[in-house]
Structure 1
Amino acid sequence: MKEQDYHADREELKELLRQYENLRAGKVHAFLEEEAFERIIDHFDEIDDFPKALEVAETGLEYFPFSSQLLIKNADLLIVTRKYQEALELLDRALLFDSSDINIPILKTDAYLALDQQEKAVEILEEALHRFEGEDRQELLFELADVYDDYEEFDKVFDCLKLILEEDLTNEEALYKICFWTDFTGRNEESIRLHQHIIDEHPYCELAWFNLGAAYQGLKLYEKAVDAYQYAIAIDEKFDYAYRNMGDAYIRLRQYKEAIEVLEKVVELTRPEEVIYEAIGHCFHRLHNYAQARFHYRKASHMNPDDSKLYYKISLTYIDEGQWEQAVKQLENAMRIHRNVPEYNLAMGECKMNLDHYKEAIQYFSLVVKQRPRNVNGWEALIKCLYQKELFEEACTQCLAALQATEGKPVFLFYYTAALSGAGKWKEAMLQLERAMERAPKLLKKFVELNPAVLQNNQVVDIIARHKKSKKN
């Protein structure tokens, strides 16, 4: 039946095209109705023959000069062919004949935006909002939201979507869009109030529950977010984005077993994604299940072999197990892709140091210090490495450089004390320990970690005791 209708429509269109060509050629022809011109215009529009479509529209207006539909179609084609002022003139004429056609303000908006007259486009839409109701008004609000988006007035985009939902509580397009714009504008409290109202009226609207969860998540209220997502999946058990966001919320709550469970549900429901496998790997890593962490990190890396971060994460699981050589192999993979990432060099330096390859370790730590001179971690690693290798003079030099680069971080006074004592400069070391204890006594453990035997030295014990006593007083 459908095939017969299709062939009938095709034959009818062929006949209309023949009659139109006869009309243009001045031959004997049947009278073409207004609707016939509209159909011929649509035909040429569909096949992207805009000059021909425009010709038909102009011809149609010669016969039906008061047709708002032909004026609108003509204006639409003029906009496509960048004749914006001509289009606006035709739309003004169309408005005189039919002020109830929503295409008029929408096309006017397109023309003014093309002329870079955003204020005028907004004015047209806002004026039209007073004349339309229901679905037409909502369509105009979506148009207005797009205008504000183009001109980066993002709070007003949120306002438009909120208005739509206040009029149509379960408008699916608005519910999808407002979730993004809530996160983008940070208007989470408003979103919570809006979606709680929607849920009061429509308790089985899974998108409203999802958006409520996302707004709670934006405020770092992760337990409330989880509750909202659970309602969403109770309504729609295949709502993969709810599982995905719930997984993130559980990770923030450090509930890694629960996170793994819901993230595995995401894998079950959708096409595998690198980011999901990486998140599952992260959870297993936090649970100290290093084999499973590696398994999932590797799955992610197979999907994106150019992501150096994944090889780095695999290396960290080996580092946590003390498997230094395996960690080095993974870091080499990471550094083949991105050579100068400070975290990679820092991890490689740690591996080399634990493998007693001190010269290489010092080189890696030195690179980190060069890349991030104000970062404490790189300096700490370098100084500890020099101290362990008993390069005390060089450690002293690097402590002074670290103090200067980090604007006098007191931790380096303790390291300087250790390096001076290692170099046999005991008197100066005790002076530095006094300074360090005055500045940050809680960091004493950093000094003791380097050489626990110092607690057997009477001078060191006296300085520590004196500062503890003065603190009590």
Structure 2
Amino acid sequence: MQLSPNDNNNFSLTRFESMLKTNSVLFFDSNEFEEIIHHYLENGKMALAKKATKLGLEQHPASINLRLFQVEMFVFENELETADKLLNELSLIEQSNEEIYIQKANILSRKDDHKSAIEMLEKALELTEDESDVFSLIGMEYLFLEDFENSKYYFMKCLENDEEDFSALYNIIYCFDYLEQNEEAIIYLNDFLNTNPYCEVAWHQVGKQYATLKDYKKALAAFDFAIISDDNFIGAYLEKGKVLEKLNRYQEAIESYTITLGLDDPTSFALLRIGKCYEKLQVNDLSLQFFTKCVEEDPLLDKGWIAITDFYFRKKNFKKALYYIEKAINIDSENVLYWKRYAKINAKLTLFEEAEHGYRKTLELGNYELDTWLIRNDILLKLGEFKAGINNIFQALEFYPECSELEYRLAGLYFNLNDETKGEYHLKNALNLDSEYIIILEELFPSVFKTKIVQKIIYTHKNTSL
């Protein structure tokens, strides 16, 4: 429980902390210790909670509740066997205490034995007067099991007991979403809204369901109801802005996003979306202004740096684009999206060594798209790095083993190195895979294409395939 300054329990907390500072020993009844421990747990002060539990048990060794707090400490420190042993002792003393079964379930859940955890929670459910908490715990165990139907059922039971349990409501919608039951979610939420017509969270979720179904008119209406219910609800304004963008109503979207900037500290998402809307409206100065604010607000948001870079790239201002993508790489050098753009921009600037480095870095970071291998190979060809090009193609063939585009390039590279045996082998492979792509050899290796040996291989292939 959170202790307020005027709460009588605050006196106990003050006395306890004074006792710790002076090393004196004061007496507290077991209820006071429970409240002190609960306060520390709620505020994440585990060391103090552990100290209070130890002192509490020294003064009240028979207190079941204090021993249950001790179990909680053991579980937190992952001493599961010790915790389980203590619970077994407590269950012999007090079989009707639901907290014993809840803690047993907690231990089983940590061991990934979620079915057994549910069995324990069902026993706790028979004993408890506070069903909502246990329903929520059972719902979470079913979530771990990816049994979304049962999980949904128990979170619904939570909401029946407490209509303001928005955590349960979000979990219910998560289950509907995972099961792709958008229509069913809308029906459920509308039933809930019949008895809670001013629940902004429910209206917000209805709007998101309609947006998923691309029923944007109803989505907008739902977000408007969410805003009527709570005109400070930032999430509703943001979702409304996203829907207005889908409808190409960019000025209205800007207005919706702008409202959020006055309700709280500006979010990088809202700043980015406003910039995107101005870009669609071709108001370039304001677009760049908001993209810049976005990266200032959150330098780690890659979408902001990408938006500025792509803006200048589309305007063919490649030097500016390169300036911003290099700034982005200095912040996050492991972002594959940055390196792809770095490579592409340098290629436009005919800085081929830098472009090749960019594509190589892209591959090292795990981007194995065929185009990445192909473009890197063509740049290596421009640089006269034929052996490096061959290595690049062989790496690509591990992912695309029957790709004629790779085989034609490999053939051309081998012919360029005067290795006619390997060149002939890969050219025949390429022709057998797709003879129409022979244009690759003609465009990338025109001198090779004109040689007698290559023309003979092409001629023979045509005649034998008729």
TM over 0.5, shorter chain: yes
Indicate the residue corresponding to 2:65 in structure 1: 73
Q: Given residue 113 of structure 1, which amino acid in structure 2 is its aligned partner? A: N
Deviation at 1:183, TM superposition (A): 4.1
Deviation at 1:167, TM superposition (A): 5.3
Q: Which residues of 2 match residues 366-381 of structure 1 at below 5 A?
A: 375-378=369-372, 381=375
Q: Summarize the Cα distance change of 1:385–1:128 in structure 2 as closer, same or farther, 3 Å threshold.
A: closer
Q: Summarize the Cα distance change of 1:312–1:87 in structure 2 as closer, same or farther, 3 Å threshold.
A: same
Indicate the residue corresponding to 2:93 in structure 1: 90
Q: Given residue 87 of structure 2, which amino acid in structure 1 is its aligned partner? A: Y
Give the conservation status (yes or no) of the 8 Å contact 2:441–2:449. Answer: no
How far apart are the structure 2 equivalents of 1:37 and 1:247?
56
How far apart are the structure 2 equivalents of 1:344 and 1:288?
25
Q: Summarize the Cα distance change of 1:226–1:37 in structure 2 as closer, same or farther, 3 Å threshold.
A: same
Residue 233 of structure 1, aligned match among 222, 227, 230? 227
Matched, 1:298 2:292: yes
Deviation at 1:313, TM superposition (A): 2.8
Q: Which residues of 2 match residues 245-256 of structure 1 at below 5 A?
A: 245-253=239-247, 255-256=249-250
How far apart are the structure 2 equivalents of 1:315 and 1:43?
55
How far apart are the structure 2 equivalents of 1:164 and 1:190?
19
Deviation at 1:340, TM superposition (A): 6.5
Indicate the residue corresponding to 2:151 in structure 1: 157
Q: Given residue 273 of structure 2, which amino acid in structure 1 is its aligned partner? A: A
Deviations 1:10-56 (CA, angstroms, capped at 9, x unpaired): 7xx99xxxxxxxxxx9xxxxxxxxxx955455467467422342244
Deviations 1:219-245 (CA, angstroms, capped at 9, x unpaired): 555544333212211222211111122
Aligned residues: 389
Deviation at 1:317, TM superposition (A): 1.0
Give the conservation status (yes or no) of the 8 Å contact 2:9–2:32. Answer: no
Indicate the residue corresponding to 2:122 in structure 1: 126
Q: Summarize the Cα distance change of 1:286–1:228 in structure 2 as closer, same or farther, 3 Å threshold.
A: same
Residue 54 of structure 1, aligned match among 36, 45, 57? 57
Deviation at 1:215, TM superposition (A): 2.9
The residue matched to 2:94 in structure 1 has which SS?
helix
When structure 1 is superposed on structure 2, of 289-298 and 314-323 the one drifting more is 289-298
The residue matched to 1:125 in structure 2 has which SS?
helix
Q: Which residues of 2 match residues 15-26 of structure 1 at below 5 A?
A: none
Percent identity at matched positions? 21
The residue matched to 1:271 in structure 2 has which SS?
coil
Give the conservation status (yes or no) of the 8 Å contact 1:334–1:344. Answer: yes
The residue matched to 1:238 in structure 2 has which SS?
coil
Q: Given residue 105 of structure 1, which amino acid in structure 2 is its aligned partner? A: E
Give the conservation status (yes or no) of the 8 Å contact 2:102–2:124. Answer: no
The residue matched to 1:204 in structure 2 has which SS?
coil
How far apart are the structure 1 equivalents of 2:241 and 2:438?
43
Q: Which residues of 2 match residues 104-253 of structure 1 at below 5 A?
A: 104-114=97-107, 118-129=114-125, 136-149=130-143, 155-166=149-160, 168-169=162-163, 171-183=165-177, 186-219=180-213, 221-253=215-247
Deviation at 1:175, TM superposition (A): 2.6
The residue matched to 2:266 in structure 1 has which SS?
coil
Q: Summarize the Cα distance change of 1:7–1:55 in structure 2 as closer, same or farther, 3 Å threshold.
A: closer
Give the conservation status (yes or no) of the 8 Å contact 1:206–1:235. Answer: yes
Structure 2 gap ranges (5+): 17-26, 40-47, 74-82, 406-433, 462-466
Deviation at 1:316, TM superposition (A): 1.4
Q: Summarize the Cα distance change of 1:51–1:256 in structure 2 as closer, same or farther, 3 Å threshold.
A: same
Deviation at 1:373, TM superposition (A): 8.2
Deviation at 1:246, TM superposition (A): 2.5
Structure 1 gap ranges (5+): 15-24, 26-35, 62-70, 96-103, 436-473
Residue 318 of structure 1, aligned match among 287, 312, 315? 312
Give the conservation status (yes or no) of the 8 Å contact 1:40–1:53. Answer: no
Give the conservation status (yes or no) of the 8 Å contact 1:158–1:181. Answer: yes
Deviation at 1:255, TM superposition (A): 4.4
When structure 1 is superposed on structure 2, of 317-326 and 290-299 the one drifting more is 290-299
How far apart are the structure 2 equivalents of 1:408 and 1:345?
27
Q: Which has the larger radius of gyration?
A: 1
Indicate the residue corresponding to 1:347 in structure 2: 341
The residue matched to 2:324 in structure 1 has which SS?
helix
Residue 332 of structure 1, aligned match among 326, 334, 349? 326
Indicate the residue corresponding to 2:420 in structure 1: none
How far apart are the structure 2 equivalents of 1:384 and 1:41?
73
